[in-house]
A and B are shown apart, each in its own frame.
Chain A
Amino acid sequence: MNGNRVGTAYALTTFARILPGKADELEGYLGSMPKGPESPFARLGMLHIARVQIFRALVHQGPLQKHTDTLQNAHLVFTSTIDGDLDPYLNALAEHVPEADEWWGRCAGYPGRTDVAVFRAWVRDRQVDTGLFQSAIPTASVGDVREALALREDVLDFAVAAQGLDAATLQQRFRSTF
């Protein structure tokens, strides 16, 4: 069993070295990215969750940590939780999210998105396989989730409106509503 996958959900974890002198502007760019429905990630129908972060140092854990790890570079962590396979996601990322050039373009060796196969290979080279991945909704796509939430609201509204109806009217309204 692949640790990156549970059900139809897939966890992508990547680390990329940020080029010298680029961390500040990259941090500023990430901090200014639109959120919610305006986020560039909202263009990707298979994407549940994405996170892009920078780290410049590793936290020393106190006197019980014998050695100190001092980073020579800043690094970019890019993670995604998607429904489906990795390649279609990376293809969609390359096609619909030019903003990827902003974060990975400041990382070492980034080839750009022009050649999608090269782009995919570069991201995969930076992937670290997940040891353990768990999902509360392992087989639900984003579309499933949205459809189910909308249906639940419709059912609730119908239940409230249908209180006290006789059987024939209830069935007729049900058929016309759903």
Chain B
Amino acid sequence: MTGLTLFTPIRRQWVWMLAVGFPLTRHLPFMRRHILQFNFIKFVRWTIVRELDGERLHYPYLFFESNFDGPWQHYIDAFAYVIPTDIRVTWGRGPGFPAPPPAEPLKAWIAQNSMEGGTYYCAHAEDSTRMVKSALVVRERFDELRRTAAVLGPEEFKAEWERFLSENQAHL
């Protein structure tokens, strides 16, 4: 599991777009699916930071944290080529953003803006997002099988077991 944190300025004239767009996205199921179409993302968040204690800032900032499988370079390739418009709409509200594609300038920008160091903890760090999602599906369906199995004869159970394996082979 990798954690990527970016903290980048937003031009003041565009803050409204993110301030409206984020809540709107929460209410649109197809947008939520769009964000999570990549099966290597476990958790992702965007936060508009308008002030910091003890500072006088010219810009509000966009705090972005994503937790995903594998190195971020692979993750950014997918982002840059599959959802370039989303990326441009979100981070393009800041100055100097290298709109993708191609992915390389975006990678350089992320390397420059990524917050490093500190400490990071994930309770299931060794288990990929796909593995976790599959395991949850298996558990749900296995519970059904277990309930059904209690009332079946041997031949019927065998047929159910084989059907379970066949239907869940992608998750096992």
B121, A136: Cβ atoms closer than 8 Å = no
Q: Does B82 contact A (CB under 8 A)?
A: no
Q: A132-B46, A145-B127 are in contact. Are A13 and B139 (CB under 8 A)?
A: no
A67, B149: Cβ atoms closer than 8 Å = no
Complex Cα–Cα for A53 and B3 (A): 11
CB distance from A33 to the nearest CB of B (A): 4
B139, A147: Cβ atoms closer than 8 Å = yes
B57, A155: Cβ atoms closer than 8 Å = no
A13, B63: Cβ atoms closer than 8 Å = yes
Chain A residues near B165: list those with CB within 8 A.
159
* Cross-chain contact of B172 among A13, A42, A159 (Cβ < 8 A): A159
Nearest-CB residue, chain A, relative to B168: A155
Tell me which of B35, B42, B61, B112 has the highest count of chain A C-beta atoms within 10 A of its own C-beta: B42
Give the secondary structure class of A's interface: mixed
Which residues 82-121 of B have a CB within 8 angstroms of A? Answer: 94-97, 112-113, 115-121
Which residues 1-52 of A have a CB within 8 angstroms of B? Answer: 1, 3, 6, 9, 11, 13, 15-17, 27, 30-31, 33, 35-36, 39, 41-42, 47-52
Count of A-B contacts judged by CB separation below 8 Å: 245
Nearest-CB residue, chain A, relative to B157: A171
Chain B residues near A128: list those with CB within 8 A.
47-49, 63
Q: A48-B122, A51-B5, A159-B165 are in contact. Are A79 and B39 (CB under 8 A)?
A: no
Q: Does B81 contact A (CB under 8 A)?
A: no
A62, B96: Cβ atoms closer than 8 Å = yes
Q: A75-B52, A170-B154, A171-B154 are in contact. Are A55 and B138 (CB under 8 A)?
A: no
B138, A49: Cβ atoms closer than 8 Å = no
Q: A62-B95, A108-B53 are in contact. Are A131 and B23 (CB under 8 A)?
A: yes
Complex Cα–Cα for A36 and B123 (A): 8
Range of interface residues on chain B? Answer: 35 or more
Q: Does A118 contact B (CB under 8 A)?
A: no
Nearest-CB residue, chain B, relative to A165: B158
Complex Cα–Cα for A17 and B42 (A): 29
CB distance from A44 to the nearest CB of B (A): 9
A174, B149: Cβ atoms closer than 8 Å = yes
B121, A50: Cβ atoms closer than 8 Å = yes
Nearest-CB residue, chain B, relative to A169: B154
CB distance from B68 to the nearest CB of A (A): 9
One digit per residue, 1 when the CB lies within 8 angstroms of any chain A CB and 0 when it does not, for chain B 8-44 equals: 1100000000110011011100001001100101111
* Cross-chain contact of A151 among B22, B97, B122, B139 (Cβ < 8 A): B139
Q: Does A161 contact B (CB under 8 A)?
A: no
Nearest-CB residue, chain A, relative to B65: A79
**20 sampled A-B residue pairs with Cβ under 8 A:** A1-B26, A3-B23, A13-B63, A30-B117, A31-B119, A49-B67, A51-B65, A53-B116, A61-B96, A66-B58, A81-B67, A128-B63, A136-B133, A137-B129, A142-B124, A148-B139, A149-B127, A159-B172, A174-B149, A178-B142
Given A51-B3, A170-B157, A171-B149, 10 more contacts at CB 8 Å? A15-B52, A58-B7, A61-B8, A64-B96, A131-B22, A132-B23, A132-B26, A136-B41, A149-B132, A171-B154
Task: Sort A-B residue pairs by CB-CB distance and give the 6 closest, nearest first.
Answer: A61-B96, A131-B22, A53-B118, A67-B58, A148-B135, A167-B154
